[in-house]
Structure 1
Amino acid sequence: MLLRQRFCTKSAPKVKTRMGTQMSAWQIFQYGGNEELTQTTTARVPNILKPTDLLIEIHAASVNPIDTMMRGGYGKAMINLLRQGLWNQAGGTEFPLILGRDFSGVVMETGKGVTRYKPGDEVWGAIATQRQGTHAQYCIVGQSEISHKPKSLSHIEAASLPYVAVTTWTALCLVGELTQKNAQNKRVLIHGGAGGLGTFAIQLMKTWGAEVTTTCSTDAVGLVQSLGADVVIDYKTQDVQSELQRISGFDVVLDPLGGKIPSFSVDLLKGWRNSKYVSLVTPVLSSTDKFGIPLGLLTTATNFGTNIIRGFINGRSYRWALFIPNGNALGQIAKLVDNGKIEPVIDKVYTFDQVPDAFQKVEEKHGRGKTVISIKDS
């Protein structure tokens, strides 16, 4: 693996927290593979431009599949349109681009409109895709994208949760319409239970009293069972489709994988009982990358309409979910963590100098929980 390092140091240097100083960060200057990841110590500490923004010193971050996809250019058409809206300017370039969506850290400075946080507060968050990312010493976040960090977790432990937690919350709660009150005894199928998103989703649903079925490989069966999964289907030794069809009748199916799963998973739902198939693999970003914004959105709408019609015919609901930053959800999740209801599941922790190795691990798609980057010793 070829790796370019500019001004590389063994550990991130200490910097002043005033505006305009330099920081260590991992950047890309064009889309591609791991060879595009470049470490620099001369990136500028970002400025607070909006009254509700905060400057965060990042102690730890994680690497998610979305980071490896964005490194290759996934979603660039739509995300760049959102970036123009964020900065109120047209044209320009997103490069150099810092990847990374979630973090745990400490508030250093706040905008004049920030009312819930002050310098010194320990916070965690998952930030919008149009922002510069968290694989750096500092980042800018919006007040609505964060909450106070769970007191029971270290920064490394906390950094493993925000992105998967908020994505799961969007999929199961906002789109799937499950709540703490109505999830009791609901039958929920979670594909890919051993990954970062799956390990969190299993815990959340079991905390709320749902009956959880999940899929995983042989070496992860013990893990997902320890998280509370009621039924585990080993895709290495069992025929997933036939096993699921035998026990079909789910209230909600969560699909973070895509591929061949939608072709049979929709039929696993209860008919005419307000059941929902929720997919995290949506064609919105890939279609706009391929066809441009107008035609890409039209193509997406056409596909969505076809799936909706299919769902209505069978008495089921076919839905898509996207990651949406949600500080309020993180606040509720922090309480569950501090009450011992949800625990972080970490596969491996890398140092800041090992970010390309962390990306490589996530790309291999065999993780058991989350891949975390330690940025500042704490």
Structure 2
Amino acid sequence: MKAVGVLENLPTSNVASFVDFELPDPVARGKNLLVRIHGISMNPVDFKERHDIVGKLAEPAILGWDACGEVMAVGDEVTEYKAGDMVMYAGEINRPGCHAELQLVDERIVGPKPTRLTPEEAACVPLTALAAWEALFDRLEIDRLTDENTALLIIGGAGGLGSMAIQFARQLSKCKIIATASRKESKDWCLKMGAHHVIDHSKNLKEQLVNLDHDTVPLILNLSSNIPYWETMAEIIAPEGAICLVASTKAKLDLDLFMGKSVRINYELMFTRSLYATDKMPAQGDVLRQVAKMIDSGTILHTRTEGMGKISAANIRKGHARIEAGQMIGKATLSGINT
């Protein structure tokens, strides 16, 4: 099969940062599906994994964790899917990714493609939908049915993850959603996704919240870097509130800032359940099935905002550069190599 790989951590300005190559077709065994990829989407995790490469690899690593495609074959333990089914999934961080013609994926973390979406539109859904769902309902423990009109602050609302988090919170809770964005187009996008208010994260968050009659907020979902907002979050979080973080932080942070308020701090990594094969791993397939139904009913919107051509080393390189610039609204996609 054809694939796009990376051998070392080179800047995207270097044409050698990604390579086109070929390798034998994988074989589906056990709970695995063999999927022919029809569409993928780009995520920050893609370039972060590239940046973590030390030295030069002996063989190219295949990155990419958001795909939609057709099931070509199934392992002998598969029960939910069959050849010909169209599926969507994020995949597993410790297995080859979706920058390829074919990919193996465990059926427990797979969902059906929403019928009303194209493969590229569907490829925008899995990673951000799963991360947003787990952050809101498993980490922050927002009650999807009976939650009162409490304030939820989403820092960095215009990206792919923020877009899904805003929609889930609006459709499945009674929270008052306050998103942050700094540009007019990103503010407009957050409002389109369902935010009740949008404030500017390049300005004083405390002052803007006070202007909305919130001295503090009980719930914070920080989808941006932790360091710039660490002290601010300690100031604006309510006593006994909860914070969910998604960004890796190498620096040492002062947790004592939150001790006086007894704040609950959570991390969300969408790959945890598959990485450790936890007993909640099949829940990701369940979530994707529910999200597919919500999309087909018109309750949830896809977040695709631009296409970047077919999967190739040149286009993946452009995609990484686009994501690394940090100005994405929604998500960028590529179509399959031979679809």
* TM-score bin (small chain): 0.7 to 0.9
Amino acid in structure 2 at the alignment position of 1:250: V
Equivalent position to 1:181, from 145, 148, 152:
145
**What is the match of residue 109 of structure 2?**
145
TM superposition score normalised by structure 2: 0.86
1:239 Cα offset (Å): 2.8
Amino acid in structure 2 at the alignment position of 1:56: V
**What is the match of residue 183 of structure 2?**
218
Q: Could you say what secondary structure the match of 1:106 adopts?
A: strand
Distance 1:139 1:33 in 2: 26
1:248 Cα offset (Å): 3.5
2:231/2:257 contact within 8 Å kept = no
Identity of aligned residues (%): 26
Distance 1:139 1:339 in 2: 29
Distance 2:78 2:32 in 1: 7
Distance 1:210 1:178 in 2: 9
Q: Does 1:335 align with 2:293?
A: yes
1:24/1:39 contact within 8 Å kept = no
Q: Does 1:121 align with 2:67?
A: no
Equivalent position to 1:255, from 192, 200, 222:
222
Q: For structure 1, which segment, 203-212 or 315-324, has the greater mean C-alpha deviation from structure 2 after superposition? A: 315-324
Q: Could you say what secondary structure the match of 1:361 adopts?
A: helix
Distance 1:224 1:193 in 2: 6
2:8/2:17 contact within 8 Å kept = no
Q: Does 1:45 align with 2:25?
A: yes
1:376 Cα offset (Å): 5.1
**What is the match of residue 320 of structure 1?**
267
Decide whether aligned partners of structure 1 residues 55 and 94 sit closer, same or farther in structure 2, where only a CA change above 3 A counts: farther
1:30/1:95 contact within 8 Å kept = no
Q: Does 1:62 align with 2:41?
A: yes
Distance 1:128 1:369 in 2: 22
1:310 Cα offset (Å): 4.7
**What is the match of residue 327 of structure 2?**
366
Residues 154-191 of structure 1: CA deviation (Å, up to 9, x unaligned): 11110111111111122112111123224452321101
| Superposition RMSD in Å | 2.2
**What is the match of residue 88 of structure 1?**
none
1:82-121, aligned counterparts within 5 Å? Answer: 95-121=59-85
Distance 1:37 1:63 in 2: 16
Distance 2:82 2:50 in 1: 33
1:33/1:71 contact within 8 Å kept = no
1:164-243, aligned counterparts within 5 Å? Answer: 164-208=128-172, 209-219=174-184, 220-235=186-201, 238-243=203-208
**What is the match of residue 30 of structure 1?**
8
Amino acid in structure 1 at the alignment position of 2:177: V
Residues 70-102 of structure 1: CA deviation (Å, up to 9, x unaligned): 11116x8xxxxxxxxxxxxxxxx7832000011
Q: Could you say what secondary structure the match of 2:286 adopts?
A: helix
**What is the match of residue 268 of structure 1?**
236
Q: Which runs of 5+ in 1 are unaligned?
A: 1-22, 77-92, 288-298
Q: For structure 1, which segment, 334-343 or 56-65, has the greater mean C-alpha deviation from structure 2 after superposition? A: 334-343
Count the aligned residue pairs: 316
**What is the match of residue 281 of structure 2?**
none
Amino acid in structure 1 at the alignment position of 2:187: V
Distance 1:129 1:265 in 2: 29
1:315 Cα offset (Å): 2.8
Distance 2:58 2:258 in 1: 39
Distance 1:311 1:63 in 2: 34
Q: Could you say what secondary structure the match of 1:373 adopts?
A: strand
Q: Could you say what secondary structure the match of 2:23 adopts?
A: strand
Decide whether aligned partners of structure 1 residues 239 and 270 sit closer, same or farther in structure 2, where only a CA change above 3 A counts: closer
Decide whether aligned partners of structure 1 residues 222 and 119 sit closer, same or farther in structure 2, where only a CA change above 3 A counts: same
Q: Which runs of 5+ in 2 are unaligned?
A: 275-283
Q: Could you say what secondary structure the match of 2:269 adopts?
A: coil
Distance 2:148 2:307 in 1: 35
Residues 318-351 of structure 1: CA deviation (Å, up to 9, x unaligned): 2222123522221121121112111012231111
Distance 1:312 1:338 in 2: 44
Amino acid in structure 1 at the alignment position of 2:189: L
Q: Could you say what secondary structure the match of 1:166 adopts?
A: helix
1:26/1:37 contact within 8 Å kept = no
Equivalent position to 1:277, from 239, 243, 251:
243
Q: Could you say what secondary structure the match of 2:302 adopts?
A: coil
Distance 2:326 2:19 in 1: 24
